[in-house]
Amino acid sequence: MSQENVEIVKRAGEFLERRDWLGGTDLFDPNVELHGTVGGLEEGKILRGLSEIGRAFEMETDEVWEDHRIEPQEFIDAGDRVVVLQREYQRSKSGAELVIDTATILDLRDGRVVRMQGYMNPAEGLEAPGLSQ
């Protein structure tokens, strides 16, 4: 089942990157949770459901970012979890640019993503499910 989970996460990531909040609904639990990035400004915040997650992403993009994209570098099977090591590219509306390596852990149940947790530090993202760099 875990390689299947990796494929689900890859497909889900494509929908999220395109900001297609309705196209991938079969890949996400209706009550999917997005937890604020550990080490980031939103740490501790929890968004529930794709519509709430989508509204937050759209608002942040409209208000802060001229360009924001995430490019997965590696998908790591961790059973019912998949760790995605990724590179984020951001350019603010003021022109400041940032390129940073981060990680996201996606928890799956019954073939659907139920929880997403970002990590500013990729090593912490690997440690959380008991992996190492």
Q: Quote the domain boundaries for residue 95.
A: 2-127
Is the pTM higher than 0.85? The answer reads yes
In a domain, 65, yes or no: yes
- List the chain pLDDT tens, one digit each, 133 residues: 478 999 999 999 898 888 787 788 899 999 999 999 999 888 899 999 988 988 887 776 666 677 778 899 999 999 899 999 999 898 887 888 989 999 999 999 999 999 999 999 999 999 887 776 6
Give the CA radius of gyration of the chain.
Answer: 14
In a domain, 132, yes or no: no
In a domain, 133, yes or no: no
Cβ atoms of 22 and 1 closer than 8 Å: no
* CATH classification of the domain holding 17: 3.10.450.50
In a domain, 12, yes or no: yes
- Measured CA to CA, the distance from residue 114 to residue 111 in angstroms comes to 9
To the nearest 10°, report the CA torsion of 124, 46, 52, 75: 20
Q: So what's the pLDDT on residue 22?
A: 79
Number of domains comprising the chain: 1
Structure tokens at 51: 């519509």
Cβ atoms of 29 and 109 closer than 8 Å: yes
In a domain, 108, yes or no: yes
CA 124 to chain centre: 15
